[in-house]
A and B are shown apart, each in its own frame.
Chain A
Amino acid sequence: MSTPIPPHSAPPVLEVEELRTSLGSRRGRGNVVDGVSFSLSAGETLGIVGESGSGKTMLGMSLLRLLPRAAQIVSGSIRLDGRDIVGCTVAEMRDIRGAEIALIPQDPMVSLDPLFRVGTQIAETLRAHKPVAAGQAMSEAVELLRRVNIPDPELRAQAYPFEMSGGMRQRVVGAIGIACTPKVLIADEPTTALDVTVQAQYLALLQRLQRETGVALIVITHDFGVVAQICDRVAVMYAGRIVEQAEVGRLFDAPAHPYSRALIEASAAMANEGGGRRFPSIPGEPPPLFGRGEGCAFAPRCAFARDRCRREAPPQTSAGPAGHAVRCFYPLEGDAR
């Protein structure tokens, strides 16, 4: 296991403040990321948890400034080592992406170009950011494959993606992620495409790479198992907002937001029953993107909601120990289990 890094021991490499990303369509505009703030230090791992549609992937894409055409950042700041990248030009972002902030994509089966050798796909990342010759880049690519535990890396560098298994491709995209030793690495659902035995191996690999490089890791997931295994802190997203963030242990022991608590209970029940008869769920549905009301987005599904929750949106408040913050007028107290 990794040596625990005390929070905020170093100045944060990434500070996100009041980030708002809106998405337009024929039906209107809505904020897929709605006033998100958090910060992250070197070597720290933050889990971003939420249902699909909660805006967690959109948050990741906003941090990389790789949003689809219909979406854009409307306000807020993303400070990477003190520099606000929201104002960066296209060319500046190209230099930053892959070099300072990198992505490990969701599905390794479709994230590699099928027509290029994996060695080439790693080497081109290096060559995009460093003045290295093709041959030098290729031997660095082989080294990277070795670091992500690919057997026979010299041989494998010459292979095409279709000649590799899913677990191996996942490690290749991991190698691409760390190729230029970025400061921040975003892993989008790093394990969903893998089967369970490979999942644990891959998470261990991510942890080892983090220890070696000191990268700040953002893990976007819907799986509390992943959070428990590798994250230091966790942010729970609902309807584009971070409704609660805390140390992982603290969140599991004493979730303050009714939504966090419902999520944890649902995933605990699922783990206990092992996919049994009753599928645990939170009643109701996430709110639509367009035409969200004034109040707390979770209020319609919340067992504890009162009139005030439906009238106004709760601000972020402290919920006990340092670093535990929640957006709820009536935070829960005590043990979830």
Chain B
Amino acid sequence: MGSFILRRLAYAILSLALLSVTIFFFVRVTGDPAALLAGADASAEQIERLRQEFGLDRSIPVQLVSFLFDLVRGDLGRSLFYNIPVSELIMARLPATLTICAATFALSVAVGVPTGIWTAINPDGWLDRAARAIAMFGMALPSFWAGLILILVFSVNLNWLPAGSGRGFSSVILPAVALSGYFIASNFRITRSAMLDVLNTEFITLTRAKGLAERRIILMHALRSSLIPIVTLSGINLALLINSSVAVETVFGWPGIGTLLFDSIAMRDFPMAQGIVVVIGVFIILCNFVIDVLYAYIDPRIRLAA
């Protein structure tokens, strides 16, 4: 297990390095960043000054090395618009996004997985039919629209919950619910189908023939085998979650990283956008690392064969 984790960690670090280099070149192949930053009506002199300011007049290898060194130190450059370090802005905004994402993720697991288990044990019952219909609806529901409806009902009409941010736990509820439709539905579906598959296997028949308690059969044997697809989906969902939080952050006025990215692109704040992409990339790589470790923890075949 230890060597497995070390190997996965090495992969994660390698991915990070590749991501950084890719971002570095990506920014530079889309054209001269200095010219882009300066705007269409800038003079050659202004562009040249910007170029020096950002060190773009140095050779590419030198730029790459200094970019990587800065990254390692956590220096993502300065925002053009706010004129303060990008990392400071990101750190100020990141907790808001992570709060929404964590709440949505927790909600999607807490609702989707038990419902999936229950409906797999009792297929074609009324709860199964209802859950499948609602899940179809949840998959198709755009989160920004759900957000608007939730604000209308629970904030404007009923005045139960705040529509904006900054009021502690109560202000997390509506955005998390708005964002969670797709995630609850996908968790429910994958759990239900994985459990149905597992419950039909011969090893589950043998656990019954052994006279084990039903609770042990479902929660120890069947659920553990179903965890692999559930964990795989969770990894994909976490990445998707960060990306789709933008819409909900905008609707609810949450000062998160999604709105920051949106604004920085709109205002062509290049270092800002680049920094956010790096941070999101790091987050996704971290999630994948955790998922790899979880796989190994769940399945001895992965742990021992690797």
Given contacts A160-B300, A160-B301, contact A113 B209 (CB under 8 A): no
A115 touches B210 (CB 8 A): no
Total A-B pairs, Cβ < 8 A:
78
Cα distance A28–B221 when bound, in Å? 34
Question: Which single member of A98, A114, A160 contacts B211 (CB below 8 Å)?
Answer: A98
A105 touches B206 (CB 8 A): yes
Cα distance A129–B224 when bound, in Å? 23
Question: Which single member of A93, A128, A163 contacts B213 (CB below 8 Å)?
Answer: A128
B299 touches A103 (CB 8 A): no
Cα distance A33–B214 when bound, in Å? 27
Given contacts A114-B225, A160-B300, A162-B301, contact A99 B206 (CB under 8 A): no
Q: Which residues of the partner chain A approach B298 to less than 8 Å between Cβ atoms?
A: 115
Interface positions of B from 114 to 139, Cβ below 8 Å from A: none
Of the candidates B203, B210, B213, the one having the most CB atoms from chain A within 10 angstroms of its own CB is: B210
Given contacts A113-B225, A115-B225, A160-B301, contact A129 B206 (CB under 8 A): no
Cα distance A111–B205 when bound, in Å? 8
A113 touches B221 (CB 8 A): yes
B208 touches A66 (CB 8 A): yes
Closest to A117 in B: B300
Question: Which single member of B201, B206, B213, B304 contacts A94 (CB below 8 Å)?
Answer: B213
Interface positions of B from 198 to 242, Cβ below 8 Å from A: 201-203, 205-214, 216, 221, 224-225
Question: Which single member of A97, A113, A179 contacts B203 (CB below 8 Å)?
Answer: A113
B209 touches A102 (CB 8 A): yes
Cα distance A103–B201 when bound, in Å? 15
A114 touches B213 (CB 8 A): no
Q: Which residues of the partner chain B approach A115 to less than 8 Å between Cβ atoms?
A: 221, 224-225, 298-300
Cα distance A102–B207 when bound, in Å? 11
Size band of the interface chain B makes with A = 20 to 34
Cα distance A105–B208 when bound, in Å? 12
Cα distance A213–B221 when bound, in Å? 29
Closest to A107 in B: B202
Q: Chain A nearest CB: distance from B283 CB in Å?
A: 29
Q: Which residues of the partner chain B approach A112 to less than 8 Å between Cβ atoms?
A: 203, 206
Number of interface residues of A (CB under 8 A): 31
Q: Which residues of the partner chain A approach B210 to less than 8 Å between Cβ atoms?
A: 97-98, 102, 124-125, 128, 176, 179
Interface string of A88-110 (1 = CB under 8 A from B): 00000111111100110111001
Question: Which single member of B202, B211, B216 contacts A97 (CB below 8 Å)?
Answer: B211
Cα distance A294–B202 when bound, in Å? 35
Cα distance A106–B206 when bound, in Å? 10
Cα distance A111–B203 when bound, in Å? 4
Of the candidates B202, B203, B206, B209, the one having the most CB atoms from chain A within 10 angstroms of its own CB is: B209
Interface positions of A from 142 to 198, Cβ below 8 Å from B: 160, 162-163, 173, 176, 179
Q: Which residues of the partner chain A approach B224 to less than 8 Å between Cβ atoms?
A: 113, 115
Q: Which residues of the partner chain B approach A102 to less than 8 Å between Cβ atoms?
A: 209-210
Cα distance A97–B208 when bound, in Å? 8
B203 touches A160 (CB 8 A): no
Cβ of A116 < 8 Å from any Cβ of B?
yes
Cβ of A23 < 8 Å from any Cβ of B?
no
Cα distance A238–B99 when bound, in Å? 65
- Listed from nearest, the 3 A-B pairs whose CB atoms lie closest are A98-B211, A103-B209, A97-B211
Extra pairs beyond A113-B221, A124-B212 (12, CB < 8 Å): A64-B209, A66-B205, A66-B208, A66-B209, A97-B209, A98-B209, A98-B212, A105-B205, A111-B206, A115-B298, A160-B304, A162-B300
Query: Could you list which residues of chain A lie within 8 angstroms of chain B, going by C-beta atoms?
Result: 64, 66, 93-99, 102-103, 105-107, 110-116, 124-125, 128-129, 160, 162-163, 173, 176, 179
Task: Name 10 A/B residue pairs within 8 A (Cβ), A-sorted.
Answer: A64-B209, A66-B208, A102-B210, A103-B206, A106-B202, A113-B225, A115-B298, A124-B212, A124-B216, A129-B211
Query: Could you list which residues of chain B lie within 8 angstroms of chain A, going by C-beta atoms?
Result: 201-203, 205-214, 216, 221, 224-225, 298-301, 304
